[in-house]
Amino acid sequence: MVQALEEICLKTIAEFKIGYSQFLDPEGNPVAKLPEFANDPEQLVRMYRLMTQTRVFDTKAINLQRTGKLGTYASSLGHEAAHVGIGAAMRKEDCLAPMYREYGAQFWRGVKMSEVLLYWGGDERGNNFSGPTHDFAWCVPIATQCLHAAGAAWAFKLRKEPRCAVSVIGDGGTSEGNFYEALNLAAVRKLPAVFVVVNNKWAISVPLSIQTAAKTLAQKAIAAGMPGVQVDGNDVIAVRDAMETALARARAGEGPTLVEAVTYRLSDHTTADDASRYRDQREVEAARIEEPLIRLRKYLTGIGAWDEKQEEALLAECAVGVEAAVKEYLDTPVQPTAAMFDYMYKDLPEAMREQRETAIRYGASGEDH
């Protein structure tokens, strides 16, 4: 008979646990003592306003794609608390290595809505965005941004700069080798990095249940030798608090942390996806009850820091701002055909010169080829 592992082990040489953090329940009720920043209603209102702006922007971007005015677009619907919480915790001198839907974090750090639209409209000038120039561009290849963050964090440590690098990845991306390699390097070198896993339960059409057998994604930090924590990703207070703790730890020379923010992808994966083909709508409706804007709005209303008039004014303000961004995007002159070649190489290879001339000629003719 096969002997149970527990019976043949002589001793326990290590034990681990994963903590879970939440401050507001789905109804907006406090369930734990709030961190210091959350006792300032102005800070909470600022986060709520940006979460709402991100939601309004997201809706408009999807509409632009559906009407042929934008390319394939990755929605952030349901992720607003996770993304704004990340941005609110970071310092300007820190470095963000995003995936491709962290608009809330990027807006907080100064990226313009029109620049996001430019990028998804196929114009690489969108990647030359406002905000910290040391932040990385959007990263569609899965998990490579984790290595970018680890490299930046190593540079900060070598230069003895009190800066941190933050990368964001989805649940599916944690199965990639690049993710593990980045964690391993960061832990071994005690780098000032924070790796955020936004667990939205779906890796395109693959549910978390067949993505991993692990009880949490935070525990993937254990093998690398760093702390891992799980937070309610629909609670912006919990996300910001966990990020501030992890960033302070990194800045103090204590090494990296993995933060798993548990949320739900309320949208399709991108506008090229149709989630209704593989996902039960009842699951989506159940997740809507716990979405991030509702709970923070209820909490702010409950403490007298928000009301219906302010909500109406905010939505109107966001609509105006988004429309202005759309106009700026649509009014941006199209780049000349040669631009796709001019910034690819320092010295353009001979074969590329011929292609450049051909592309310019065809582009000028206006014909289909």
Residues classed as catalytic? 265, 269, 278
Interhelix angle 113-120/308-331, rounded to 10 degrees, is 50
What phi, psi does 367 have (nearest 5°)?
A: -90, 160
As beta bridge partners, residue 30 has 24
Residue 367's alpha-carbon distances to 134, 325, 359, 360, 361, in angstroms, are 40, 31, 11, 12, 10
For residue 219, how far is the Cα from the chain centroid? 20
Distance CA(358)–CA(343), nearest Å, equals 17
Beta strands 95-97 and 165-170, pairing class: parallel
Q: Which string of b and e fits 96-129 if b means at least 16 CB within 10 Å?
A: bbbbbbbbbbbbbbebbbbbbbbbbbebeebeeb
| Rg of the chain over all Cα atoms, to the nearest angstrom | 22
Query: Pseudo-torsion of CA 292, 294, 300, 303, nearest 10°?
Result: -120
Q: What is the DSSP letter of 338?
A: T
Residue linked to tokens 């693959």:
206
The CA-to-CA distance between both ends of the chain, in Å, stands at: 70
Distance CA(122)–CA(101), nearest Å, equals 15
Q: Which positions ≥6 away from 94 have C-beta within 8 Å? A: 132, 163, 164, 165, 166, 247
